């Protein structure tokens, strides 16, 4: 911010908004009258904004004021009052380091402002949508998904009631958060719906300018999870040249991470290794432990895929040494799974079993169904190699229930294939039941793909990236 700019508090912004409303003008009409862009007027009326003196002078002149009058007004009216916008910024930062303390401050703020969930009071309050959004963020970090969805939706609906808040981009930020939550719940089609709504509602030149890139990153992650790798890579390549302009170092590395994952899936391992090694330095310098963890894991996947198992093991073990430092604990599930599969390839059965049991334990602890299914499949594979068919069957059946609950159709197909082989080999009475389910799964996948395409069993354990946390 320029040092000569003038700070407009939330309360002072409300004063300007009320003055405009008294004159029966829209922001667009006022913009035409005084020659100041509508987005700037919106920022001023929202408050917590550093305004250019020349623009503020035009606004004051229209209302018959001097800029010097604003200081007197602010001192006279609000000498001992906290600025609401500033308080919310402070609360958002407290939520990062002390979730419960931040939530307590947020509840106190709500009580003072008389904000209630789903309140029918439609009186304009520029802080209300942000308050709903922050509550959504609180519940998201507690993994209370339905409460998170409810509050992000409330933020969206409030902006719909007051379109003048669109330039804040809190609506686009809430749609991005809705997409992230649905991604974590494995409701992937719904996630893509919310992300597209966020992109459609994003206002260029408004606040939270980074949200557009975060929406694109989240979209690429969801598409990759749906195995729509070409579409995901196209998005990443479109924003690749702009990544150095992103404010968030985590988001910049997130783009690289997704590109590496996609290159691994497309078997372009040399390129994936090159990008990973280049960005590990940046992640370490910025102490972005989650990104370091992800990069080491994806690097291990690249080396394992080209048969360099010693290098792969070093990468996985290095990632796991960072585990105590990472914030998104669920990302370790895939690393333990990949390490276990590596040990299987090396014939180290006990080490494989230990790593895969840890992957399953963490999958259950963190309630990450997608990663848990993949860990259970790998553990079942391990049991098969140890000639424990019935133990393998138990793990496959547990994974099968999760695929049915969350519609992981491709994984369900893989599991049913293994189960039919076990039940046939052991002359189990459930063999015909699973054969019927397998056929139905195959037909369903064929129909979704639009024709009689050959079914291909997918055994890769690609790393699953997480969207950038901050919005």
Residue pair 361/380 in contact (Cβ under 8 Å)? The answer is: no
Domain boundaries, the chain: 6-78, 84-181
Query: What DSSP string runs through 342-384?
Result: HHHHTT-HHHHHHHHHHHHHHHHHTT-HHHHHHHHHHHHHHHH
Best CA proximity match to 398, nearest among 424, 372, 423:
372
Fold of 6-78: 434 Repressor (Amino-terminal Domain) (1.10.260)
DSSP secondary structure letter of residue 243: G
DSSP 244: G
pLDDT value at 102 more than 80: yes
Confidence of residue 1 (pLDDT cuts 50, 70, 90): very low
Q: What is the pLDDT of residues 437-464, one digit of tens each?
A: 999 888 877 765 554 443 333 344 455 5
Q: Phi and psi at residue 49, in whole multiples of 5°?
A: -140, 140
Query: In this predicted structure, which of 6-10, 182-186, 290-294, 306-310 has the lowest mean pLDDT?
Result: 6-10
Mean pLDDT of the 180-208 span: 91
Please give the pLDDT value at position 452: 42
Residues with Cβ within 8 Å of residue 225, at least 6 apart in sequence: 183, 188, 370, 464
Spell 20-56 as b/e; 16+ CB within 10 A means b.
beeeeeebeebbeeeebebbbbbbbbbbbbebeeebb
**What pTM value is reported for the model?**
0.66
Least confident among 2-6, 131-135, 342-346: 2-6
Taking only the tens place, the pLDDT of each residue in 200-225 is 999 988 888 889 888 998 999 899 88
Closest to 11 measured CA to CA, from 45, 51, 59: 45
Mean pLDDT of 400-423: 90
Q: Does domain 84-181 have CATH number 1.25.40?
A: yes
Helix (H, G, I), strand (E, B) or coil at 417: helix
Span of 181-185, 250-254, 260-264, 417-421 with lowest mean pLDDT: 250-254
């Amino acid at each position: 911010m320029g040092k000569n700019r003038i700070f407009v508090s939330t309360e002072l912004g409300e004063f300007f908004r009320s003055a405009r409303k008294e004159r029966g003008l829209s922001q667009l009409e006022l913009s035409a009258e005084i020659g100041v862009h509508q987005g700037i007027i919106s920022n001023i009326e929202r408050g917590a904004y550093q305004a250019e003196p020349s623009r503020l002078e035009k606004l004051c002149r229209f209302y018959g004021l001097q800029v010097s009058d604003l200081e007197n007004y602010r001192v006279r009216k609000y000498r001992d009052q906290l600025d609401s916008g500033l308080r919310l910024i402070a609360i958002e930062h407290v939520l990062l380091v002390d979730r419960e303390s931040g939530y307590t401050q947020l509840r106190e703020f709500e009580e003072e402002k008389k904000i209630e969930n789903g309140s029918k009071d439609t009186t304009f309050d520029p802080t209300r949508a942000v308050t709903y959004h922050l509550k959504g963020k609180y519940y998201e970090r507690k993994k209370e998904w339905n409460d998170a969805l409810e509050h992000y939706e409330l933020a969206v609906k409030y902006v719909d009631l007051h379109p003048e808040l669109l330039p804040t981009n809190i609506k686009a930020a809430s749609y991005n958060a809705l997409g992230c939550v649905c991604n974590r719940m494995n409701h992937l089609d719904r996630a893509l719906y919310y992300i597209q709504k966020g992109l459609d509602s994003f206002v260029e030149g408004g606040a939270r300018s980074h949200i557009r890139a975060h929406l694109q990153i989240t979209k690429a992650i969801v598409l990759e999870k749906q195995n729509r790798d070409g579409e995901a890579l196209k998005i990443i390549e479109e924003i690749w040249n702009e990544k150095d302009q992103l404010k968030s170092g985590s988001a910049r590395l997130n783009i690289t991470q997704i590109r590496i994952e996609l290159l691994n899936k497309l078997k372009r391992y040399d390129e994936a290794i090159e990008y990973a090694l280049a960005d590990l330095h940046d992640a370490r310098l910025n102490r972005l432990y989650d990104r370091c963890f992800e990069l080491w894991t994806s690097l291990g996947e690249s080396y394992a895929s080209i048969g360099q198992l010693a290098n792969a093991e070093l990468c996985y073990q290095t990632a796991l040494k960072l585990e105590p430092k990472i914030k998104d604990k669920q990302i370790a599930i895939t690393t333990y799974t990949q390490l276990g599969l590596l040990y299987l390839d090396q014939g180290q059965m006990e080490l494989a079993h230990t790593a895969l049991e840890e992957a399953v334990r963490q999958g259950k602890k963190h309630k990450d169904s997608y990663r848990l299914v993949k860990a259970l499949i790998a553990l079942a594979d391990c049991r098969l190699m140890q000639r424990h068919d019935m133990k393998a069957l138990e793990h496959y059946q547990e994974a099968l229930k999760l695929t049915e609950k969350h519609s992981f159709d491709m994984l369900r197909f893989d599991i049913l294939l293994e189960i039919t082989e076990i039940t046939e080999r052991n002359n189990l009475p459930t063999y015909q039941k699973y054969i019927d389910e397998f056929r139905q799964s195959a037909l369903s996948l064929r129909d979704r793909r639009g024709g009689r395409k050959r079914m291909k069993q997918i055994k890769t354990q690609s790393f699953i990236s997480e969207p950038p946390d901050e919005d």
